[in-house]
Amino acid sequence: MKNICVFLGSNFGATPIFREAAVELGRELAHRDLTLVYGGSDAGLMGVLADAVLDAGGRAVGVIPTALVEKEVAHRSLTEQIIAVDMHERKARMMELADAFIALPGGLGTMEEFFEVLCWAQIGLHEKPCGLLDVGGYYTELNAFLDKVVHMGFVKAVHRDLALMDNTPAGLLDQFDRFVPPRVSKWIDKD
């Protein structure tokens, strides 16, 4: 693993623990000599994470669509800033660059991006680890929902287990180091 893609909020969230977690993850990525790949903004937690990586001597690569550059939310001090035509190109480029994916707390965009790469793992488009950084129990209900989806017969347990989770950056990155992708078909049956 060299490049970790992080999905996270462009807002700060309702409590300082989200900012603290973004700083902790940024420092941990730099400490492990892992490059941050993210959405390229300086807004909210996105800016906090990128600044933490850079302040710790790490590398931060942003991938941002033209429309957001025009709204002046692009981070101006990154190691590299890649300008994408649109959100679809942005996500494809981030997927291409990343060796693993982390979701910190965030909103609809964070969820959409995380579930897209998780689905891609499920159907075998990649074998990269995907994890949720469960800051202050943010993903507790989501974790329970994923268990319910298995119980209700919509996802195999082996695919549910693709969504790794930890409450510390170090713990999640350690899980990534041990990750072995499953060798099983997505489809439960065709009837």
What percent of the chain is modeled with pLDDT above 70?
96
Rounded average pLDDT per 10-residue block, the chain, 191 residues: 97 97 98 98 97 98 94 93 96 97 97 97 95 98 97 95 98 97 68 46
Residue 191: predicted pLDDT: 46
Query: What is the rounded average pLDDT for all residues in the chain?
Result: 95
Q: In DSSP terms, which residues pair with 7 in a beta bridge?
A: 103
| Verdict on whether the full-model pTM lies above 0.75 | yes
What CATH architecture is 3-177? 3-Layer(aba) Sandwich (3.40)
Q: How far is CA 154 from the centre of its chain?
A: 23
Q: What's the pLDDT tens digit per position in 95-128?
A: 999 999 999 999 999 999 999 999 999 999 999 9
**For the chain, domain boundaries:** 3-177
